[in-house]
Chain A
Amino acid sequence: MGQLKAGVRLRSAACATEVMVVASPDGAVDLQCGGVPMLDAKAEASAGGSPSPQAAEGSILGKRYVSESGDLELLCIKPGDGSLAIGETLLKTKDAKALPSSD
C-alpha cells in the first residue's frame, strides 16, 4: 500500500471491508485485508476475490484497529469477511475509552 495518510479511505480487494486511516506511521505500510493488499477506495473494483483462510476473521463496523506498535490506527467504516493485517500480523481491536456524553 505504500505510505498511508490520515483521513484516507481504503477498501479491501478480497471482501466488503472499508476503513479510514486515523493515524499512520511514516514510511511504507504493507496493509492487507483478507490476505491481499488494500486498495484506495476509488480504485477500480477487481473481480470479486475472497479472503484467504488465514485472514478471514472479519472486520466489525465502527471498531478501531491498531498495529502492535500503535502507530497505525484504522476505523472500520464498512464491515467484511477479511481480517486487517500488516503483512501476516493481524491488527488488534482497540478498546474504547469510556467518556460520559458531553453533548
Chain B
Amino acid sequence: MNLMMLLEMAASGTPDRVAVQNGADTLTYDELFQAAGRAASEVQASGCERFAMLDVSSLALPVGLFGSAWAGVPFAPLNYRLTGEEIEGLASQIAPAYLVTEDARVEALSQLPRTQVVSREAFLARAGTADAADPSWPMDPDDIAVLLFTSGTTGAPKAAVLRHKHLVSYILGSVEFGSASEEDAALVSVPPYHVAGIAALASSVYSGRRIVQLSNFEAEAWVELARSERVTHAFVVPTMLTRIIDVLDGSGDAKLPHLRALSYGGGKMPQQVIEKAMRLFPETDFTNAYGLTETSSTIAILNPEDHRSAASSEDPAVRRRLTSVGRPLPSLEVEIRDDAGHALAPGERGEIHVRGEQVSGEYLGRGTTVDGDGWFPTRDAGSIDDDGYLFLEGRADDVIVRGGENLSPGEIEDVLLEHTAVADSAVVGIPDEQWGEGVAAVVVLRAGRSASVEELQDWVRGRLRSSRTPQRIEFCDELPYNETGKLLRRQIRAQLASGEPG
C-alpha cells in the first residue's frame, strides 16, 4: 500500500489528461508519474531520510509528494510563514532532509545543519531530465507518507505522522477511482502544509481531476481563476469564503457558472456566510467537511442535500443542521465521551472520539494518542443529535468552566453574531475570583454600526442562561486568525490579561 499506487492508476487510466496546472505550467498524469520517478531517484541518491518543502503550491508539490512516496521517504511540507528561528526548529526535527524551496531562500536555508537545499526550479528541472527510477516503490502500509506540523495554536508545533495506510484508506473510503470527467477541475488554494492541501491532491489524482493551483490565496484571483479555468470543484476555509463573497457581492456579476461543488472546512463557518453563499450560488453543491490533520483530513460531512433541506426547513431542529458538520463518513465511527471516557447519549456534550483506518493520532517522537481499542481523542468538543448530526463546540481546551458549569464559547459567539451590529466575535474564559472562570467577549462591530456593552450583554441574557452573559466585553477592529482561518484564542486571552482590547 503506497500513495504512489493512486498516481500509477491515474497515469494508466488517463495518461494524457492534465493532472496539475499552475499558471501556464502543466503536467499530464503520465508526465507527473515520470517526474515523480525521477524525483525519487534524486532523493535516494542524496541519502536524505526525509523530503521537506518550504514553498507555496507549485508543480513541485505533487512531484515532491509522489516522488517521496516512490522513494520511500516521508514528505514534510513546512509553513513558509514561520520565522527563521521557527523554521530552524522544524528542520531540526526532520533532518537529514532534502529541502525544496523558492530560489530567494536557498542561500539562507543552506545554513541549516544536515539539510540539502534545492531551489524549486532546479528540482523540477532534475525531475524533468534525470535518469528514470527503479519502477517499484515500497508497499509497506506502515511506512510514513507525510509529516504535517500542526498549526500550534496551543503549545509548540509537533509533527503529525500520517502513514500510507491512513492516507490510502481515506482516499479509498471517500473517492471513486476515475470518477472525474474530462471537464472537471479542482481549484486548490490551501497551502501545501495544510492537511486539506495534501488530501485535495490525493483525491483529485485518484478521481482523475485536473488540479488548478492558486499559490497565494487572494479573493479576486480566486474568482478570476474559477471563471477562466472553468473550475468545477473547490475547497475553501471559512475566511476565504467570506472574502470571496465580499468580492462577488460588490461586483455586478456574482456568477460562477461552472462551479458545481464547493466544500469548506478547517474552521467554524458563520451561518450568515454559508446562507449568503447558498443564495449567491443556488446551483452549487455545498459540502461542509470536518476533519483533523491527525485523521488524514475529513471524518464527517454535511452533504449538499443536508444543506438544502436545512436551509429551506421551517423546523428549527432541521434548520440548525446548517451549523453542524454533518454525519461521520461510513468508513468511520464517532463517539462523544465524558471526561471519564464514558460514551454519552445524543444531545449530550463531550469530547469527540473517532476510530477508523484513516485515523493516525500519532506524533513524531511522541508516540500515539490512540487508545488500545483504536479510538482517537480529538480534543474537539461536540454533541450528536438524534439523527446523527455532529455539532462542534470548540476545542475541549477552550471550554469555560464557570462555577462548575461547562460553557461553550461557540454557543455565546453564535448569539453575539446574530446581533445586526456584530461582524465577528470571540468568547474566552478569564480568571474570576468568585466563579473560577468568567466569560469575556471580544467583538468586532460592523462598519458604521454601534452597540454598547450593556446592549450586547442584554442581547445574550435574553437568549441564553444568565451564566453565559459575558461579564466583560471589549471591542476591536479585527480578531487574530492564523492564515488558514483558525481563531487564535490563546492570543486573545493573553491580550485580555494584559489589559489591551483584543
Contacts and interface: CB of A to CB of B under 8 A. Distances in A.
B and A form one assembly? yes
Interface of A: 6-9, 20, 22, 41-42, 61-63, 75, 77-78, 96-103
Interface size class of B (residues with CB under 8 A): 35 or more
Interface string B234-277: 01000000000000000000000000010101000000000000
**Closest 10 interchain pairs by CB?**
A62-B177, A7-B1, A7-B141, A102-B289, A96-B176, A103-B199, A102-B298, A103-B200, A100-B287, A103-B235
Nearest to A98: B176
B297 A101 contact: no
A103 B297 contact: yes
Interface in B152-200: 164-165, 168, 172, 174-179, 186, 196, 199-200
A41 B135 CA distance: 12
B396 interface: no
A77 B8 contact: yes
B12 A61 contact: yes
Contacts, number: 81
Contacts of B9: 61-62, 77
Contact of A6 (B1, B13, B235, B297): B1
B258 to A, nearest CB: 14
A101 B9 CA distance: 19
Contacts of A62: 9, 13, 176-178
A102 to B, nearest CB: 4
A100 B178 contact: no
A78 B177 CA distance: 13
A20 B203 contact: no
Contacts of A61: 9, 12-13, 177-178
25 contacts: A8-B139, A61-B9, A61-B12, A61-B177, A62-B13, A62-B178, A75-B172, A77-B8, A78-B12, A99-B303, A99-B329, A99-B330, A100-B261, A100-B263, A100-B285, A100-B303, A101-B261, A101-B287, A102-B174, A102-B203, A102-B297, A102-B301, A103-B203, A103-B235, A103-B263
A99 B13 contact: no
A78 B11 CA distance: 11
Contacts of B330: 97, 99
Nearest to A40: B139
A98 B196 CA distance: 20
B50 interface: no
B304 interface: yes
B141 A103 contact: no
A42 B135 CA distance: 12
A102 B287 contact: yes
B331 to A, nearest CB: 8
Nearest to A96: B176
B140 interface: yes
A8 B2 CA distance: 10
A22 B5 CA distance: 13
Given A7-B141, A61-B177, A61-B178, A103 B5 contact: no
A75 B169 CA distance: 12
Contacts of B199: 103
